[in-house]
């Protein structure tokens, strides 16, 4: 039974928020685990490390695809929920726009990384290191480290949005 203060709409939004948080945590947390634990361990292992890496990447890819779908669907619902009451101001909208832009960048990086990995496996080649400074910068901005950093910044922006929203509610 629901408490008197919580409506069905509130419960729905709670479930949507929970799904959004779990998906983001699974993706970013899994990426942190891969970056700081699994990848270094696999680099130290012999030939079996490559097979484990491929198998782990396949499993993680399915989880990331699900997380992206849930993040997109729940993010749209949560955005409309926050924007429709008219409580927020320009500051909230700007932070939200930055959060959405960084999230889209993450989605593109994940998709691009998948395509690049599949092509490398197909040809069994290692990419040639970039020779020009601009290429090095672009490669650094499209790497796995960037994905993790962006994810952590998106978490920070989500907390900033909560603070801005609560502040706007309290000042009314």
Specify the number of domains making up the chain: 1
Residues 158 and 99: beta-carbon distance below 8 Å: yes
Res 104 pLDDT > 50:
yes
- Residue 54, domain member (yes or no): yes
Range of the domain at 164: 8-170
- Residue 84, domain member (yes or no): yes
- Residue 163, domain member (yes or no): yes
* pLDDT tens for each residue of 32-62: 998 888 888 888 877 767 788 888 888 888 9
- Is the model's pTM score more than 0.75? yes
- Residue 131, domain member (yes or no): yes
- Residue 1, domain member (yes or no): no
- Residue 147, domain member (yes or no): yes
- Residue 3, domain member (yes or no): no
Task: Give dist(CA 112, CA 135) in Å, integer.
Answer: 16
- Residue 118, domain member (yes or no): yes
Max CA-CA distance within the chain? Answer: 64
Residues 94 and 164: beta-carbon distance below 8 Å: no
């Amino acid at each position: 039974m629901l408490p008197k203060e919580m409506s069905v709409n509130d419960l729905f939004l709670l479930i949507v928020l929970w799904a959004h948080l779990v998906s983001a945590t699974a993706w970013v947390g899994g990426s942190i685990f891969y970056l700081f634990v699994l990848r270094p361990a696999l680099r130290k292992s012999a030939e079996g490390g490559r097979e484990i890496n491929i198998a782990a990447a396949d499993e993680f890819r399915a989880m990331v695809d699900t997380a992206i779908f849930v993040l997109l669907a729940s993010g749209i619902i949560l955005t409309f929920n926050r924007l429709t009451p008219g409580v927020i101001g320009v500051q909230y909208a700007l932070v939200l726009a930055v959060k959405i832009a960084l999230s889209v960048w993450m989605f593109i990086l994940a998709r691009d990384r998948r395509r690049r990995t599949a092509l490398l496996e197909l040809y069994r080649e290692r990419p040639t290191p970039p020779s020009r400074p601009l290429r090095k910068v672009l490669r650094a901005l499209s790497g796995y480290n960037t994905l993790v950093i962006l994810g952590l910044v998106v978490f920070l922006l989500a907390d900033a949005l909560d603070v801005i929203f609560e502040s706007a509610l309290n000042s009314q």
